Amino acid sequence: METIELLDQYIDNQLVPDQIAQLEKDLQQDADLQRLLDSVVISREAIRYRALTIKVKGLHQQYIDEIRADPGQDYDQDVIRPMPVRRDYSWALRIAASVLIALFGYGSYQYAALDKSQVYTNKFISYRLLTVRGSADQLSPLRSAYLSENYGSVIRQFNTLSIKAPIDYFLTGVACLQQHEYVQAISRFTELRAVNKYQKEVYFREETDYYLALAYLGAGRLNESYSLFKSIHDAPQHLFSESVTELDLVKLNVLRLKEVPDSGK
């Protein structure tokens, strides 16, 4: 069985338990194989988004034909179990990138120009703290600083608090994003998630999902950003579901592909 065919069946849940266990073991041990799986998933997403009439299986068969036509590689091996020798799958990643470029009209310039800062800026939504009229004087210094858009002060106020409420974690996380302090933002949002585990009422759950995904993106942790954005997109009832489009996911995948090292260099 061809490697890509095996991955296709894995994605479609068509493998028997023993095959799944072996493949998942190989995926953990072989980063190139994991990237190959990612590229197959990416290609499928691109095809689904554009509603192409070409069947996914047919497109993958084209990949297989191209692979077999490459005299520099031996692809007539059976299933990858086990994989004592690491293989070079950079060809598959380049194919996936080419598919994305072709399907979405990404010319070479657009592909080269796309970066995480561009996507981040496009997806960032300023969070407005709503207050009841006449209650401004009752706000804590941290929340007053946030209302005044004094984000540096918000961060400093947070660090002086002995007792922190969920809203303090959340507003400070957003303030960190405004200051481009992405690592700090990740810490605040993940701390809020931990706090919420012990609360009867969960605070800012969906907001935290979205802004944590942005923080991962700003910090260059693209896999985590993609995973979280995709979970938001795939949950129709999520507060930010409509803010994450299929094209956003494709752009994130293009960024992930651009980060793949070219072993031929």
Q: Domain 120-257: state its class.
A: mainly alpha
**Integer Cα distance of 168 and 203 in angstroms:** 11
> In the prediction, which pLDDT does 246 show?
80
Q: Which residues contact 212 (CB under 8 A, 6 or more apart)?
A: 173, 185, 186, 189, 190, 193, 228
Q: What is the pTM of this model?
A: 0.64
Q: Tell me how far CA of residue 162 lies from CA of 145, 153, 192, in angstroms.
A: 18, 16, 15
User: Which of residues 72 and 163 earns the better pLDDT score?
Assistant: 163
With cut-offs at 50, 70 and 90, classify the pLDDT of residue 86: very low
Average pLDDT, the chain: 77
Mean pLDDT (whole number) for 153-165: 95
- Burial grade of 36 (CB within 10 A; 0-12, 13-18, 19 or more): buried
Which sequence spans correspond to the domains of the chain? 3-109, 120-257
Q: Compute φ and ψ for 95, nearest 5 degrees.
A: -65, -45
Q: Which long-range contacts (CB under 8 A, 24 or more apart) does 80-88 make?
A: 80/3, 80/6, 80/23, 80/26, 80/30, 80/33, 81/22, 81/23, 81/26, 82/22, 82/25, 82/26, 83/26, 83/29, 83/30, 83/33, 86/30, 86/32, 87/30, 87/32, 87/33, 88/32, 88/263, 88/264
Among 73-82, 129-138, 226-235, the range of highest mean pLDDT? 226-235
**Integer Cα distance of 229 and 1 in angstroms:** 34
Mean pLDDT (whole number) for 158-185: 96
pLDDT tens-digit map of 207-264: 999 999 999 999 999 999 999 999 999 999 999 999 998 878 878 887 887 775 544 4
pLDDT tens-digit map of 176-193: 999 999 999 999 999 999
Q: CB of 189 within 8 A of CB of 215?
A: yes
